[in-house]
Amino acid sequence: MAAAGSVVAGRGGGRFSGFVRLAVALQTVSILFQAVTAGMAMSSQVGATLHDIGSRGMYAMSMLYLLAAVLAWRPGGAPARPVLYATGFLALGTLQVVMGVLHVMEVHLPLGVLMFGLSMLDLGRVALRRTRPTAETEATAATEATV
């Protein structure tokens, strides 16, 4: 019975679910930082420098999210879907960096808005996730209810 409960419990991400939440939060904050510094870059060299440094940070946070999602999936037993989300963010981040370096603002700016919106949705998904009761916790609750 305990083995079945732990398998079901592992579907929530287990010990790596907090790491995934942290990685998504850091990614979202880094994308927000990029939006703020993009506005500053239009008017000052300091803003442009901060935006350049922030692009590296945002890309690193996307890689951290992918690492967290893979760790939650393989050793943690969580679903594979967050790995697909993280891979998508890394691909969008790569395109974003390339468009920024090439100064293709017609793609760079809307892509940044899209990435922020998707990251907020993903943050809401991981932060507001309800944990399903496992067979083990249901049995414990049933036992406590009869006592």
Statement: the pTM of the whole predicted model exceeds 0.85: no
Task: Encode pLDDT of 73-100 as tens digits.
Answer: 988 788 889 999 999 999 999 999 999 9
Given a cut of 50, the residues of the chain with pLDDT beneath it are: 1-11
Burial per residue of 45-78, b for 16 or more beta-carbon CB atoms within 10 angstroms, e otherwise: eebeebbeebbebbbebbbbbbebbbbbbeebbb
Question: What is residue 139's predicted lDDT score, i.e. its pLDDT?
Answer: 63
Question: What is residue 3's predicted lDDT score, i.e. its pLDDT?
Answer: 38
Q: Which two tokens stand for residue 88?
A: 């998508």
> How far, in Å, are 3, 6, 10, 130, 140 from residue 133 at the CA level?
15, 11, 11, 9, 11
Question: What is residue 137's predicted lDDT score, i.e. its pLDDT?
Answer: 57
Question: What is residue 75's predicted lDDT score, i.e. its pLDDT?
Answer: 84
